[in-house]
Structure 1
Amino acid sequence: MPSRQVLILAVVTPILLYLLLHRSSPQELPARAAFRQRLVAVGDLHGDIDNAKKVLRMAKVIDESSNWAAGTDILVTTGDIVDRGAHADQIYRLMQSLRGQAEGIGGRVVSILGNHEVMNAIGDWRYVTRDDIKNFGGSPARQQALSNEGWLGQEWLANYSVTALVPLSPHPSSPSLSFTHGSLRPSFPNLQPYPSAINALGHSLLSQALTPPLAPPYPPNPYSGLPKGHSQAEAELYAEGGPLWWRGLADREEAQVCEWAKELKEKTGAKRIIGGHTPNFEKIVARCDAGVIIIDTGISSAYGGVLSALEVVYTLTPIDEHDRSQDPLLLSTAVLKGRFLEKEEIHAIYQHGKKRLVVEEREVTLE
């Protein structure tokens, strides 16, 4: 009579052989995306922590406990977290926490400076609310927090930039998205090399502004303007035609905007130019076949606009299903090579659901 071990082997061995053969048979491989990246971008939040959390939950970025729930997704905020509302401090703390949580699991938080961040840095407090000052612990405590010795000033200097070029995959030929608070102007004198030239100017200007003694708040004190010793290039960055303030891509005629967008794409290497700053209280605005997207919808209750977020889902799916080198199980050690179907799906997310802005597909060869 066969032993118990022999009987077990007789039963288990055929099962294991079947699973092995099934796993290695190319004809049985399911359709799959070899690479997937999701990006969520959120416009001006202006001190409204409640609506900020609603938007992030709506976009599945955070859970009910306000912790990161987006895995390897990318979150971009396009500036103006401060002013008009009462709880800018809480929003900055939330972003600070999410940044650390995301990085721990392969996600990423990209933070853009708005004109209102720089206004606060140089002492222009015209849009700061009394409750905001109170929540920081008073005017002196708020100034200290904003300085390069304070928690928020250090956070701005370490993790916030005037603009960002965000690639949608690690492959050098993948499309990238440009993010700025205002509109990038094609003729801006320090546009290139992009984004490093603009960000170097922004960091320098911010560093000067946040170095004690800080400018006394205006009002009630007289307006101090830009820090003493600032350069002409830094003044141009903060001027009406600079990327913090300019609205051209949002408020000019479509034909002109599309012409500018074409030039910007050539100069920046970005496939799409995305910004906030100019609110449309009803919807995210896509222009020039979504080559330009304006995402400020007045989320803060100070404005009363719709709650919204921009979602970009980018996938690469192998065209040759027999190519086992693109198996998802091997991607941690393999390089994406071969023929792929590249797909980019862009939606505006609202409380009532999603609205498709554009879906684009093309065949690409990665080498």
Structure 2
Amino acid sequence: MASPQPTNTSQFSCMKTTLAVLFGLTALYSAHFFNLHLQFYSALQHPYVQRIIHIPFSDILRDLQLQKVESGKAQSYGGSALKAFSRHVVCVGDLHGDYPNALRVLNFSGVVDEQGNWSGKTDFFVQTGDIIDRGDDTIKLFTWMDRLRGQAIAAGGTVLSNLGNHEFMNAIGDWRYVYESEIKTFGTIEARQRMISNGRIGRSWAKNYTVTTRLPLHSYLGPPNTPYPPVRSQVHFEQDYDGSEVLEPSHIRELDLKDGPLSHVALSFVHGGLSPTYGALVPFPEKINEIGSSLLQKLQKREQPAPYPINPHYPGLPESATAEEHELYDSNGPLWYRGWAYEPEEKVCVDVEEVLKNTGTRRMIMGHTPDFHNIVSRCNGKIIIIDTGISHAYGGVLSALSVHYTLTPIIDPENTGEQQRWTEREVVKAVYEEFQHLVADEEREVVGKFTIQANTGN
């Protein structure tokens, strides 16, 4: 067998030397170029560990092309502190005792699958009250809502529920819209009274339902129902040497949450409406919910009167009800108010600005006043009325409201930290069984450092 061809040793050594020099020059240039990029992006700061993170420019380009923002989650860019944030909210109006139609709505709007289980496609599902009356599925609907509440929590989502005027009517003993066939699903009148006072449904109302909801669209503002204006501590200011008041560091964020660029990036949900002349509006929604909880407790714990009109005597509110509790249940209160639906456009579009300012929100979403054809939007989507007569008792249209919110960083090494620029977008759609209608698509640029809060939605 022939041996391999002999090699020229001196020639091989020369080639090795040349390759080493070329490799060294390439490495030196690459290191210099890479260091330039390290300096270029050295201002990007991680919000949790407060350290500098260096990102190669090629990684940023790659991640910008490949990264997708998943619903309800913050996605980083190239491992940096900059995160795109997304939140998806679906809300539904009056259901009035109709489980089959409710199931259809929650299914085609993506809240549940065909079996009625939480789908994981939304971050928040909000129902604005009046689940009870005008139909026979009271027990089935409230049981389903409680099951969805647990499934949502397990999947990282949240169900938020409001009480409507019909829930309070039943707690009072005003059963004018209760069908005899529905009473039979409970067994007896007394069994129904027990169920909605100290029984399973009544306990869920007390624990899981509020009169109104404030839902921040970004977790930077805190969890659902964080009060607005923000709660402040006892000591607000310290005196500087020249006698002027200087903000303590602990209050900088509080002021940002009250007047900063994201301060009003939230939605309000209520059954009837937040009247511009209602006296207990702020702090929102804390004050209203405290009054509602107090009134509900008094109604549920009193000796249950014979319901009206089975008994011709109307029970009314308890004697112990306060003036604020009477105002809550009045026609100008959040359970019954219809002004946003009926007042002229020029009036409501002026009035709504003050209410939004005082509640720290940008839209008011409510049910109660039905339009049997479509979801009603007024004042460029600042007022949205979502009761479309879903129950077969009305024969309206099946509908839901969808809100997609995103906050996406604008990659700019010259504007980082407190000067970081973001693109904010909010897309609001009325969702019907066969089509969707765009209510609002608003985009703006905001500047600031918005730390992502973990698990604030639950």
TM-score under structure 1 length normalisation: 0.88
1:25 aligned onto 2:41: no
1:55 to 99, 105, 118: 105
Deviation at residue 321 of structure 1 after TM alignment: 7.5
Letter in 2 for 1:164: T
Q: Distance in 1 between matches of 2:110 and 2:419?
A: 31
Q: Is the 8 A contact 1:181 1:244 kept in 2?
A: yes
Letter in 2 for 1:238: Y
Deviation at residue 320 of structure 1 after TM alignment: 0.6
Give the aligned partner of residue 168 of structure 1: 217
1:219 aligned onto 2:268: no
Q: Distance in 2 between matches of 1:366 and 1:91?
A: 43
Deviation at residue 349 of structure 1 after TM alignment: 0.3
1:338–1:122 distance in 2 versus 1, CA, 3 Å: same
Give the aligned partner of residue 97 of structure 1: 147
Describe the SS at the equivalent of 1:29. Answer: helix
Deviation at residue 322 of structure 1 after TM alignment: 7.8
Give the aligned partner of residue 183 of structure 1: 273
Give the aligned partner of residue 190 of structure 2: 140
2:93 to 43, 55, 63: 43
Q: Distance in 1 between matches of 2:178 and 2:60?
A: 62
Give the aligned partner of residue 240 of structure 1: 331
Q: Distance in 2 between matches of 1:53 and 1:190?
A: 35
1:279 aligned onto 2:370: yes
Deviation at residue 337 of structure 1 after TM alignment: 8.8
Q: Distance in 1 between matches of 2:174 and 2:95?
A: 19
Give the aligned partner of residue 207 of structure 1: 297
Identity of aligned residues (%): 47
Unpaired stretches in structure 2, ≥5 consecutive residues: 1-54, 70-83, 222-261, 450-458
Counterparts of residues 86-125 of structure 1 (less than 5 Å)? 86-125=136-175
Q: Distance in 2 between matches of 1:23 and 1:39?
A: 35
Deviation at residue 76 of structure 1 after TM alignment: 0.5
Q: Is the 8 A contact 1:71 1:107 kept in 2?
A: no
Moved over 4 A (4+): 21-24
Describe the SS at the equivalent of 1:36. Answer: strand
Q: Is the 8 A contact 1:29 1:321 kept in 2?
A: no
Give the aligned partner of residue 29 of structure 2: none
2:341 to 250, 272, 280: 250
Which structure has the higher relative contact order (CA within 8 Å, separation 6+)?
A: 1
1:158 aligned onto 2:207: yes
Deviation at residue 228 of structure 1 after TM alignment: 2.0
1:307 to 398, 401, 417: 398
Give the aligned partner of residue 192 of structure 1: 282
Give the aligned partner of residue 14 of structure 1: none
Deviation at residue 166 of structure 1 after TM alignment: 0.4
Deviation at residue 213 of structure 1 after TM alignment: 1.6
Deviation at residue 102 of structure 1 after TM alignment: 0.4
1:352 aligned onto 2:402: no
Describe the SS at the equivalent of 1:25. Answer: helix
Give the aligned partner of residue 7 of structure 1: none
Deviation at residue 23 of structure 1 after TM alignment: 11
Q: Is the 8 A contact 1:41 1:77 kept in 2?
A: yes
Describe the SS at the equivalent of 2:220. Answer: coil
Unpaired stretches in structure 1, ≥5 consecutive residues: 1-20, 326-334
Q: Distance in 2 between matches of 1:49 and 1:27?
A: 49
Q: Distance in 2 between matches of 1:234 and 1:213?
A: 19
Give the aligned partner of residue 3 of structure 1: none
Describe the SS at the equivalent of 2:301. Answer: coil
168-177 vs 309-318, greater mean Cα deviation:
168-177
Q: What are the Cα deviations for residues 30-73 of structure 1, in whole angstroms up to 9, with x where unaligned? A: 35441111000100000000000000001011011110003451
Q: Distance in 2 between matches of 1:25 and 1:244?
A: 53
Deviation at residue 104 of structure 1 after TM alignment: 1.3
Q: Distance in 2 between matches of 1:215 and 1:237?
A: 21
Greater Rg by CA = 2
Q: What are the Cα deviations for residues 257-284 of structure 1, in whole angstroms up to 9, with x where unaligned? A: 1111111011111100110100000000
Letter in 1 for 2:63: L
Q: Distance in 1 between matches of 2:177 and 2:220?
A: 43
Give the aligned partner of residue 8 of structure 1: none
Q: Distance in 2 between matches of 1:321 and 1:73?
A: 30
Q: Is the 8 A contact 1:27 1:322 kept in 2?
A: no
Deviation at residue 186 of structure 1 after TM alignment: 1.3
Deviation at residue 136 of structure 1 after TM alignment: 1.7
Q: Distance in 2 between matches of 1:89 and 1:298?
A: 20
1:366–1:210 distance in 2 versus 1, CA, 3 Å: same
Pairs aligned (count): 336
Q: What are the Cα deviations for residues 200-246 of structure 1, in whole angstroms up to 9, with x where unaligned? A: 11000000001142222112111110012100110011011111111
TM-score under structure 2 length normalisation: 0.71
Q: Is the 8 A contact 1:43 1:296 kept in 2?
A: yes
Q: Is the 8 A contact 1:55 1:309 kept in 2?
A: yes
Give the aligned partner of residue 32 of structure 2: none
1:68 aligned onto 2:118: yes
C-alpha RMSD over aligned residues = 2.0
Give the aligned partner of residue 82 of structure 1: 132
Letter in 2 for 1:311: S
